Amino acid sequence: MKEKHFWMVIAVIVFIWIGNFTYLHSQQLEKPIVLKHYYDLPLEEQTNMRIYYLTNKDQTRLDSADINGTSITISDRSTQVIQEFRHHYLKMSYLEIDKEALPLKIGENGTWTFNQIIPSFWTGTSEIQRLKAVDIGLITITSPNRGKRAFEYQMMSSSSRNRTYTTNRASEAVTINEITIPFSEQFSNTLKVKVDLGLVSYNPGGEQLDWGEVPGTPLDDIAFPIQLDKGDSFSVYTQLNENQKTSLLGRMKVRGVTKAGESFEFPFIIQAQPRFTQQEIDQMIKEHKGGDKP
């Protein structure tokens, strides 16, 4: 009888082990998931961009990426674990593109755009896992024309709630004729913008306020042109929907003329970084493995 009980206990342990192993296997990714990125970047001597991706809980990291026929190698020291989950890591690697690798020159107008990369991942062994081309979102690198600067930088902050606050001071009297938002087509329903003409002082706790309580006027309600005197503050709040799990780094363009009649274009930075809950990761894995497909 005791022997029978012994084998019953062994059988239960084996069944539990098989169940745990099956569940763990069902959670493992065959290949990393590269997230969507929307970047509007100025050309620099070395243009850096963050690439986010989800891996199993192992040493896998982005090793290189082919972009429009150009191969970019990634330093292992640039890779960071951003979030840790039950069976996965959200990681970030810096993609560093030297200006010599781009068909652009600093100081000359030009744009280089791509929406796909061919990533290769180091798996912790001598094996390199090269994926097929993946949709990375939309990345634009522009060689800006160094024109008139009508504002002086004062402050910028961002929060984990996908909110950005930027304020600048007019260095001379200006007239603002328009404000354009980057990636307006992609984020038409998920990106909100408010403009504060300095009537309300910045509140460091404002990032925790509900959007309706944030100072400023919605961009859609602004009546152009806007007149600013020298020394006037011009502040912008942006809010990307927290369910938008993408990496965003764009430049909102403020265009107008100075009192002297010189045209200017000044960028205000908008940024948001992906953050997930365990439940959202579980859902992503399920969709990636086809669990929600008919």
In the predicted structure, residue 238 carries a pLDDT above the cut 80: yes
In the predicted structure, residue 30 carries a pLDDT above the cut 80: yes
Task: Grade residue 291 by pLDDT with cuts at 50, 70 and 90.
Answer: very low
Q: What is the topology classification, in CATH, of domain 44-108+116-137?
A: Immunoglobulin-like (2.60.40)
pLDDT in the model for residue 147: 64
Would you list the domain boundaries of the chain?
Answer: 1-30, 44-108+116-137, 151-272
Please give the Cα distance from 253 to 251 (Å, whole number): 6
Whole-model pTM: value is 0.83
Task: Grade residue 2 by pLDDT with cuts at 50, 70 and 90.
Answer: low
Query: Residue 210 to residues 54, 88, 239, 246, 265: CA-CA distances in angstroms?
Result: 30, 32, 10, 21, 31
pLDDT in the model for residue 5: 62
Q: Which amino acid is present at 208? A: Q
In the predicted structure, residue 46 carries a pLDDT above the cut 90: no
Across 106-135, average pLDDT:
86
pLDDT in the model for residue 290: 59
Please give the Cα distance from 89 to 274 (Å, whole number): 13
User: Do 44-108+116-137 and 151-272 show the same overall fold?
Assistant: yes
Across 67-77, average pLDDT:
81
Please give the Cα distance from 22 to 13 (Å, whole number): 14
Query: Is residue 290 classed as helix, strand or coil in its secondary structure?
Result: coil
Residue 232: which of 199, 268, 204, 255 has the closest Cα? 199
Angle at alpha carbon of residue 90, lines to 166 and 207, rounded to 5°: 25
Residue 268: which of 182, 173, 166 has the closest Cα? 166
What is the rounded average pLDDT for all residues in the chain? Answer: 83
Please give the Cα distance from 266 to 151 (Å, whole number): 7
- Beta-bridge partners for 54: 33, 90
Select, from the ranges 99-103, 130-134, 212-216, the one with the highest average predicted confidence (pLDDT).
130-134
pLDDT digits (tens, 9 = 90+) for 144-169: 666 677 888 777 777 777 888 888 88
DSSP string, 110-170: EEEEEEEEEEEEE-SSS-EEEPPPEEEEEEEEEE----B--EEEEEEEE-TTSEEEEEEEE
pLDDT in the model for residue 23: 45
Q: Which CATH class is domain 151-272?
A: mainly beta
What are the φ and ψ backbone dihedral angles of 27, each rounded to 5 degrees? -90, -10
Tokens of 113: 């755009």
